[in-house]
Structure 1
Amino acid sequence: MATRIGVVGAAGRMGRMLLATIAATPGCVIAGGTERPGNPALGEDLGKLAGIEPVGLVLTADPDALFAASDAVLDFTAPSASATHASLAAKHGHAHIIGTTGLEAPERATIEAAAKRAPIVLAPNMSLGVNLLLLMVEQMAKALDTDWDIEIVEMHHRHKVDAPSGTALGLGRAAAKGRGVSLDSVAQRSRDGITGERRKGDIGFATLRGGDVVGEHRVTFAAEGERIEIGHIATSRAIFARGAVKAAIWAQGKPPGLYAMKDVLGL
């Protein structure tokens, strides 16, 4: 049986990419797609939205029906929407793959509660390269003491609404984990004016926005007399779509729980 995969936010740029990727993946079929009420694309064939042949399914505003009809639903929407969708995943016991960033504590709590009744994969970035980078950052932070300052710089397109990016915060959490501390206790997310000397052990963030940049992340470990820099550059959203579909396939048959991309990729 083919894996039936649905998409919420299917009329957006990422949603259309997800639809096309599902259709191009052997063993997978598009189960449906939704958008918010009032979206001008409602009623359009999902294949047309994806730039492929018609698939005989139209864009609707009924996520409950989508979760009922899907083995897994891909979600790159907004924090509040993803939390609502997680509750629908729990209701139907079907997999939910969340690539939404900017989640706050209440949304995370809702998703964690839903994961007790459905397999949920939550990842700030679904590319193989970024997940390898996360592992390397954790290992490097563990090996280098606080004489090494850690700074994370990210750049995205002008339309991105949250900052720092979910991937940048994920890199910060990886570095903090390597050092055995909580990111909240050491994060320095902005600097402006007379800030004083850099506090030892802090993990700094800088955010750039402009143009059509898909995603760039760089982590710098800086000490007296030397510096280590590692990073990742995404040139196409297709890498995130492929990772999301891979996660949807992987989640089939998995027990309820909150999973990460490192589980999907076996890292």
Structure 2
Amino acid sequence: MPDTPVSDGPTIGIVGLGRLGSALRSVCRADGTRVSLTASRRAGWSVETVPDVLVDASAPEAHTDVLDYCATHRVALVACVSNLTDIQWKALEELADVVPVVRATNLSFAHYLQSRIAEFTAALTTGRFGTTTTVRERHPLGKAHRPSATALALADTWAAASGRAVADIADERSGLPVSEHEMTHTWDGESLHVRHHVGSWTVPARGALAAADWARAAPPGLVTMRTVYDDLTARSTT
């Protein structure tokens, strides 16, 4: 059932009660954030009131229902499902014409920093200091697709910032939850490794809650977590 509020934060709806959705629900309870809607494949939709923001932590099969709900009720969306089809991504862009949509390939703040470090490194590794750059990602067995969306996003960030594609993207399926993503920059005789490790689903759950708080007051449009964290970090320094 939906949860009782304690704080004055956004009212949240959670679609998908797997690892991320369940962790988000626990974080909301700990923070006193009201969850007024939950939905899962097994239990269906349970709605107490229309939430301020819907967090989709489900699967591509639920995408149409999620978009229909957000469009009908004008609810902001934090979209955490990364393995959508091209048609589904297009539908997400169309929804952003009427409500705020955060495309959350990776919700972690440290991943945001890793991407910013990649851009900083790209700006300095030109000419005689050029580097060979690779990406490695590790997830436990059972990860739905490979390479991960985060690994691909890191490769795209590097290519956009440096004008050079990464030399390789390695994917590994082993070990404990949740994930590791590493960028390696190699020169003659030395290398630099920028590694990000997430060991708890609480980490992306807190990122989802931060994105929901941001989206509650945002205008319609499609943004990524980069925009969210750029804005939140700018606010914290003013």
Q: Tell me whether the two structures share a fold, i.e. TM-score over 0.5.
A: yes
Q: Deviations over 1:225-259 (max 9, x none)?
A: 32111110111110100010111111112110112
C-alpha distance in structure 2 between counterparts of 1:251 and 1:99, whole Å: 14
1:25 aligns with 2:6: no
What are the equivalent positions in structure 2 for 1:103-182 lying under 5 Å apart? Answer: 103-145=84-126, 147-180=130-163
The worse-fitting range, judged by mean Cα deviation, of 117-126 and 70-79 is: 70-79
Label 1:32 to 1:103 Cα distance change in 2 as closer, same or farther (>3 A).
same
Does 2:82 correspond to 1:75?
no
Q: How does 1:13-92 map to 2 (within 5 A)?
A: 13-26=19-32, 28-36=33-41, 39=42, 42=43, 61-62=44-45, 69-82=50-63, 84-92=65-73
Identify if the C-alpha distance between structure 1 residues 150 and 82 changes in structure 2 by more than 3 Å, giving closer, same or farther.
farther
Max Rg structure: 1
Following TM superposition, by how much is the alpha carbon of 1:84 offset from its aligned partner in structure 2, in angstroms?
4.7
1:7 paired residue among 8, 11, 14: 14
Deviation at 1:215, TM superposition (A): 0.5
Correspondence list, 1:224-263, <5 A:
224-263=188-227
Query: How far does the alpha carbon of each residue in 1:129-152 deviate from its partner, in whole angstroms, 9 at most, with x for none?
Result: 011101111221233238421110
Residue 222 (str. 1) matches residue 186 (str. 2): yes
Instruction: Determine the C-alpha separation between the residues in 2 that align with 1:221 and 1:14.
Output: 31
Structure-2 change in CA distance of 1:245 and 1:154 (3 Å): same
In 1, the alpha carbon distance for the partners of 2:220 and 2:163 equals 28
Residue type of the alignment partner of 2:143: K
Structure 1: how far apart are the matches of 2:66 and 2:51? 13
Q: Deviations over 1:206-240 (max 9, x none)?
A: 10012433110110111223211111011111010
For the residue of structure 2 that corresponds to 1:89, the secondary structure is: helix
CA contact (8 A) 1:83 1:111 kept: no
Q: CA deviation at 1:99?
A: 1.7
Question: What is the CA–CA distance in structure 1 between the aligned matches of 2:132 and 2:106, rounded to whole Å?
Answer: 24
Q: Structure 1 residues 86-95 or 127-136, which shifts more?
A: 86-95
**SS across alignment from 1:251:** helix
Secondary structure, in 3 states, of the residue corresponding to 1:250?
helix
Contact 2:40 2:58 in 1 (8 A): no
Sequence identity percentage: 29
Contact 1:87–1:111, Cα closer than 8 Å, also in 2:
no
**Length-normalised TM-score, structure 1:** 0.76
Q: Deviations over 1:1-59 (max 9, x none)?
A: 5521011112x122211111112224x201121112xx2xx2xxxxxxxxxxxxxxxxx
RMSD: 2.1
Structure 2 counterpart SS, 1:229: strand
Distance 2:209 2:145 in 1: 24
Amino acid at match of 1:225: G
Contact 2:16 2:59 in 1 (8 A): no
Letter in 2 for 1:29: R
Unaligned runs of 5+ in 1: 43-60, 187-201
Q: Distance in 2 between matches of 1:156 and 1:73?
A: 26
- Classify 1:104/1:236 alpha carbon distance in 2 versus 1 (closer, same or farther; 3 Å): same
